Amino acid sequence: MTMKNEESLAFATIEELAALLARRKISPVELTDLFLRRIEQQNPALNAFLTVTAEPALAAARRAEKELLRGRGARRDKSPLLGIPISLKDNLWTRGIRSTAGSKILRDFVPTEDSTATRKLARAGAILLGKTNMNEFAYGIDGANAHYGPTHNPWALDRISGGSSAGSAAAIAAGLCVASLGTDTGGSIRVPSALCGTVGLKPTFGRVSVFGTMPLAPSLDHVGPMARSVADVALLLGSIAGRDPLDPASSARPVEDYRGALKKPLRKFRLGRPREHYWEKLDPEVRRAAETAVREMEKRGAEVREVSLPHLKESLEAGTEISLAEALHVHEATGYFPARAAEYGEEVRQRIESGAKVPAHRYLAGFDVKKRLLAQFEEAFRSVDAVVAPTVPVPAPSIGAESVQIDGEAIGTRPMIVGHSRPANFTGLPAISVPCGFTRDGLPVGLQLIGRAFDESTLLRIANSYERENDWRARRP
């Protein structure tokens, strides 16, 4: 295998690799070995993986290879993930493999069972390469970790990767795995996907089981796929979605054929451009890339309409208060806080402590705001198929930057980054981030689409229609 071929394989999609595996142009063992070598070479600079599972990965690859050689490759139509090397965010339980959730407290925690999403991917034949770095207990948006160090953005090592699913996005962008699963409580799938130039989907609340995931704020938590293409994200979603008796919040609604939905023609669709919040304060290069993307979709049949969502800004504070209160409850219920408060990173400990300052009436009032905002989204969806906006208002800031400059104003990095992503968690609506360009410095920009509850198919079809005509994957870090 030449270096050029290896590079091509490292940045291939699930669909492309599945075809090669089915034709026996490459074996699961060769593919897994390729990614393990790339992790060994590049992870010291990126810090994307906390745990690498080389021996179990190669053993799983050998099992996949035997299945393909026995002529049972026809199963691939039902399980195209057979032999595909992936990673998992380290707050998803993996039986017999440590799952730290990016914390010192769980440094040596080895679960005795898999999360539901982990189990489903394993049954589909995916090969786990390892567990990825993240903000401690998923409580952060920049990819910095007080205990294990920051994840570096593959496009510029001095820049943040975004968080909290930092390592997952960085690993995909750098060609260290084909795909990953992340979690998203305030943007933790979409933000790193946008800043690292990958595709990330936060499904509808309840669409994917969160059983076996270390919670942050249960009413806002989601598990979702991250990959190189919209088609890969659709494939992964179909593999992990569905009702789970172990997660009472999971939905019994039937799982659609998301992959098949992409094959249906999409000639005309309607996009809603919010009058409030999303398009107000933007880095000029982010604005240029996002507006160009919207114009491109208009050329391809989209009708763009202005929509009004006046409770958006109110929802940001309400979502923060719900997150603070629920995070405190989670950490008290596990017994980690305050008993082991000294083992938390300072920033995370302060946020958990802040949960005690949220009065019960403010917490409950937050859900009233949620109802009002959700009603406004539902009204907007009477006339549009999806809401469109930049995923993150700025390109990836420098690691450690406490503020960013927009129009000469210094704005805190965390509220600026999370402000565009949190409303979809707050309402539970599905949202996807797709690459839509680069800054002059070569930093990726992401475009976000928010859709109707349990209508991931429409979001995926719109995102796929844009990606087909504007595929940014040719550019690599």
Rounded Cα distance, 128 and 95, in Å: 12
CB 391 within 8 A of CB 447: yes
What is the structure's pLDDT at 1? 59
Alpha-carbon gap, residue 409 to 434, rounded angstroms: 28
302-307/269-274 β-pairing: parallel
The phi, psi pair for 342, rounded to 5°, reads -65, -15
| C-alpha pair distances (Å), 253 with each of 78, 248, 256 | 20, 13, 9
Are the C-beta atoms of 151 and 195 separated by less than 8 Å? no
The amino acid occupying position 77 is D
Cβ–Cβ under 8 Å, residues 426 and 413: no
- Please name which of 8, 2, 62, 75 lies closest in space to residue 32, comparing C-alpha atoms: 62
Q: How many CB atoms lie within 10 A of CB 41?
A: 10
CB 420, CB 316: distance < 8 Å: no
What integer pLDDT is reported at residue 4 of this predicted model? 63
List, for the chain, all residue ranges whose pLDDT scores fall below the cut of 50. Answer: 73-77
What is the pLDDT at residue 168? Answer: 98
Instruction: Determine whether 251 is an active site residue.
Output: no
* Residue 164 a catalytic site member: yes
Cβ 431 vs Cβ 319: under 8 Å:
no
CA distance 209 to 245: 9
The pLDDT value recorded for residue 75 is 45
Pairing, β 127-132 against β 444-450:
unpaired
Q: How remote is the C-alpha of 322 from its chain's centroid?
A: 21
Catalytic residue among 27, 87, 89, 131: 89
pLDDT value at position 270? 97
Q: What angle do CA 197, 198, 200 make, to 5 degrees?
A: 135
Residue 298's CB is within 10 A of a number of other CB atoms, namely 12
* CA–CA distance, 126 with 117 (Å, rounded to integer): 12
Longest dimension (CA), the chain: 64
| Active-site entry in 87, 115, 164, 323 | 164
Q: What whole-number distance in Å separates Cα of residue 333 and Cα of residue 112?
A: 20
* Cα–Cα distance, 133 to 152 (Å, whole number): 10
Contact 82, 125 (CB under 8 A): yes
| Total H helices, total E strands in the chain | 16, 15
Reported as a single tens digit per residue, the pLDDT across 110-168 is: 999 999 999 999 999 999 999 999 999 999 999 999 999 999 999 999 999 999 999 99
Q: Is 188 a catalytic residue?
A: yes
Region for 454 from its dihedrals, namely left if φ exceeds 0, alpha if ψ lies in -120 to 50, beta otherwise: left
Contact indicator for 237, 224 with CB cutoff of 8 Å = yes
Cβ–Cβ under 8 Å, residues 441 and 434: no
Instruction: Tell me the C-alpha distance between 270 and 257, whole Å.
Output: 22
pLDDT of residue 76: 43
∠ at Cα 275 (362, 444), nearest 5°? 90
Helix 230-240, helix 116-123: angle, nearest 10: 110
Residue 273's alpha-carbon distances to 2, 216, 290, 315, 415, in angstroms, are 47, 31, 11, 18, 21
Q: Which residues pair with 405 in a beta bridge?
A: 410
Does residue 407 contact residue 304 with C-beta atoms inside 8 Å? Answer: no
* Predicted structure pTM score: 0.97
- Give me the amino acid identity at 374: L
Q: What whole-number distance in Å separates Cα of residue 409 and Cα of residue 400?
A: 18
The one catalytic residue among 27, 99, 188, 323: 188
The structure tokens listed for 267 are: 């000639």
- Measured between its terminal Cα atoms, the distance across the chain in Å is 22
